[in-house]
A and B are shown apart, each in its own frame.
Chain A
Amino acid sequence: MINNKRVYPDKPTKVYFFGTCLVDLLYPEAGVDGMRLIAREGVKVIYPQNQTCCGQPAWNSGYREQARAVARQQMSCFPNNHPIIVPSGSCAGMMRYHYPELFKGEREETTVQAFAQRIFELTEFLVHVLKINRQDLGKPIKVALHTSCSARREMGVAEEHERLLAQLENVEIAQHMRKEECCGFGGTFAIKHPEISAAMVEEKSDALLQENPERVISGDCGCLMNITGHLKQRESRLRGQHIASFLWERTNATDS
């Protein structure tokens, strides 16, 4: 699962943005802010309107044929050879590592392998390709960072998340207990094994709350939906935010 450090291309003139279905429906501002962060660096961002979902839910539930049909549809949205930026470690991991598995032995096998090489998780793209470093314009704030398991272990971009937050002068990162541990989301896991999932999100939230942060930042909306959904249930005032929105808020002159 460990990502061997990849070689990054030079800054391109155009990129595609794959927003993900969770962002589309629940956190669209994270998608918009992700695109703004890229566009601000002088790169044209294209958001194909025919995109839907990467297919991960079916893939992880063992419904490969259904996942393949949906994956095919996504790949048809990105015909030109531009990088494809995904604001989620989990969906990026699906497209980068699991598409080639999903199409193994299919006639598109080689095309899919080439497609997978064009997938970048947002934070790795910001750090390694765009090399962004903007001034923090916000007031001092203490935040906790929850890096999703796929961002950490599959895409290997936990350090990139930390590096982006560390660039922000007035932001203090609270280090919470067992920060490498899963929040208990796991897609259909949360539905199939709700009690185990509940125990996991409860403990994750305890660990976060213990550090008394003002916000929880994550690069994955699945984790955010899980953790903040539970925090609201507990009537905690701690709110969550996607890392793209947080970065935009802190560095954009008119927004802060």
Chain B
Amino acid sequence: MQQTVDFQNRSHNALGDPQIRKNFRSAMDGLIQKRRQAFPEREALEQLRWKGEKIKANALSKLPALLAQLEENCVKNGIQVHWAETVEEANHIVLDIMNRHDAKQLIKGKSMVSEEMDLNHFLEQHGIECLESDLGEFIIQLINEKPSHIIAPAIHMNRLQVAKLFNEKFPEIPYTDDVDTMTRNARDILRRKFYEAPVGLSGVNFAVAETGTLCLVENEGNGRMCATVPQVHIAVTGIEKVVEKLSDIPTLLRLLTRSATGQPITTYFNMINAPRQSGEKDGPKEVHLVLLDNGRSRIFQDAELISTLRCIRCGACMNNCPVYARIGGHAYGTTIPGPIGSILEPQKSGLDELGDLPTASTLCGACAEVCPVRIPIPKLLNRLRFEKNRTDETGSVKGAGSGREWKEATLWKLWQILHATPPLYRIGVKIITRLRGLMPTQLGPWTSVRKAPRIAKKSLHELAQEEGFDHE
């Protein structure tokens, strides 16, 4: 499969790049540490995770009803709601709104759904300039790169690399590698754009059905600027972001910020209920909510895989993943990288396209251990490995059965016969132990960095008999 080759190539390149290795390792170590300090009591953390899981699972169990309720309440509040089954539809909804206002500039807060839509690219083809206002997104937009992490999009670059980039792109600003000065410079550039852009776009962290409230978590204030300064605000989000009650929010917020960056709360937390009301002096005159499906309702139909949709996009699974920490986000080649990406993206794009991502894990379980909504990621990785190889037609997952290769399937069949037929197994083991001197010293990829293991002189089966640990 081409994508396997691509993934292998990209991880090969990442592994060979000492700068990438160092940037990710130190950033991930820092984030792991911060999260740990944010949850000092194990028992309290477990309680909170249970609660988070319950809230999201509850919302998913009544997803269609909650979405209808969300729409009803948003409309009541004056927010215009749009439904998009595909990214094409979502992109056209945004374009139509832009065109209606004759808008040629869009200022954006951080939104992974807009990345999923490849919105910037789409709008630029239609003559609209998109400007990312989140600092990390702003940095990578300068070099036309994709985010390498869902909450820290430019984490693959260090301070000096950013300083060099700013110096190239903004030669009129004196060189600095001081983080605060660089941030101030970026803010100055962006501030002007906020006044110019007629439309602002943001994501949504939680959408509350009972009140029609859109919650937006951020640290830089750019999200609030996007949602309040331009005349029009468009919020784009996936349908799985809906929760039932306003009282669900404190638990999820507590889990999200602590799991993501170790912060007890972010600098800004926005709750958007309505456009500017008469008599109010600021705020957008129009607020739009675009609800994107793009394969989510298919995931929703599977009783086990549905838990994928609980994700609140904190990034803790990638921070703690030993594979992600070494290859970084770009190697995955998907919008969402890391463990959650390896279960979510193949379900969305199909196992025929991304069926090998679920194999990019040792199933070490570090992701599930930290997930704030207790998504059993290793279990779902295992399930997708099964779906990829299954032979029957009942699989509900897109591309199920597409990865089955007769060579591999035959090997497993032989493996089965050997291990389900004890006399055969014992003879096999006896032969291998007696011929251990003839074992090859090169065992393909295994011996690229290891010596081949040494077969014992006598198997445990034999030794157990000799020591009198018999059959009953």
Contacts and interface: CB of A to CB of B under 8 A. Distances in A.
B65 to A, nearest CB: 29
Interface stretch (B56-64, B113-121, B413-421): B413-421
B322 to A, nearest CB: 5
Nearest to A21: B419
Given A191-B444, A196-B326, A233-B449, A26 B412 contact: no
Interface string B69-93: 0000000000000000000000000
Given A62-B387, A149-B364, A195-B15, A49 B422 contact: yes
Contacts of A63: 386, 389, 409, 412, 416
B326 A69 contact: no
B467 A25 contact: no
B362 A1 contact: no
Given A49-B471, A153-B369, A225-B453, A24 B416 contact: no
In the complex, which range does the number of interface residues on chain A fall in? 35 or more
22 contacts: A1-B376, A25-B433, A26-B453, A28-B458, A35-B464, A35-B469, A45-B469, A47-B461, A48-B471, A49-B426, A61-B412, A64-B386, A72-B420, A80-B472, A149-B362, A180-B366, A184-B362, A186-B362, A189-B362, A197-B362, A200-B326, A200-B362
Contacts of B394: none
Contacts of B444: 191
Given A49-B426, A195-B12, 16 more contacts: A25-B429, A47-B470, A53-B419, A62-B387, A149-B363, A153-B364, A153-B368, A153-B369, A181-B364, A182-B322, A186-B362, A186-B364, A193-B360, A194-B449, A197-B362, A200-B323
Contacts of B453: 26, 225, 229
Contacts of A180: 366
B192 interface: no
A173 B169 CA distance: 53
B157 to A, nearest CB: 20
Contacts of A193: 8, 11, 323, 359-360
Nearest to B417: A69
Contacts of A190: 445-446
B18 to A, nearest CB: 12
B448 interface: yes
B230 to A, nearest CB: 44
A24 B364 contact: no
Contacts of B333: none
Interface of B: 8, 11-12, 15, 21, 46, 322-323, 326-327, 356, 359-366, 368-369, 376, 378-379, 382, 384-390, 408-409, 412-413, 415-416, 418-422, 425-426, 429, 432-433, 444-456, 458-465, 467, 469-472
By secondary structure, the B interface counts as: helix
Given A24-B461, A73-B420, A182-B362, A66 B369 contact: no
B433 to A, nearest CB: 7
A150 B363 CA distance: 9
A70 interface: yes
B388 A47 contact: no
B445 A153 contact: no
Contacts of B470: 46-47
Contacts of A232: 450-451
A154 B365 contact: yes
B11 A196 contact: yes
B464 A19 contact: yes
A191 B446 contact: yes
Nearest to A35: B469
Contacts of A24: 429, 459-461
Given A47-B469, A190-B446, A32 B464 contact: yes
Contacts of B326: 196, 199-200
Q: Which 10 A-B pairs have the closest CB atoms?
A: A186-B362, A229-B450, A62-B385, A194-B445, A182-B364, A149-B364, A153-B365, A47-B464, A28-B460, A66-B416
A167 interface: no
Name the prevailing secondary structure of the A interface residues: helix
A211 to B, nearest CB: 18
Given A45-B469, A60-B382, A193-B11, A73 B449 contact: no
Nearest to A27: B456
A113 interface: no
Given A24-B460, A25-B455, A199-B326, A194 B446 contact: yes
Nearest to A191: B445
A55 B419 contact: yes
A181 B464 CA distance: 34
Given A24-B429, A31-B463, A233 B420 contact: no
Contacts of A49: 422, 426, 461, 464-465, 471
A15 B452 CA distance: 34
Given A63-B412, A196-B15, A46 B469 contact: yes
A80 B471 CA distance: 12
Nearest to A180: B366
A145 B453 CA distance: 20
A230 interface: yes
A198 B449 contact: yes
Nearest to B356: A192
A196 B376 contact: no
Nearest to B384: A62
B416 A70 contact: yes
Contacts of B416: 58, 63, 66, 69-70
A50 B471 CA distance: 9
Nearest to A58: B412
B455 A186 contact: no
Nearest to A177: B29
Contact of B467 (A32, A73, A199): A32
B123 to A, nearest CB: 36
Contacts of A46: 469-472
Contacts of B469: 17, 35, 39, 45-47
Given A48-B471, A199-B326, A185 B362 contact: yes
Given A35-B469, A49-B426, A53-B419, A25 B459 contact: yes
Contacts of B413: 66
B460 A184 contact: no
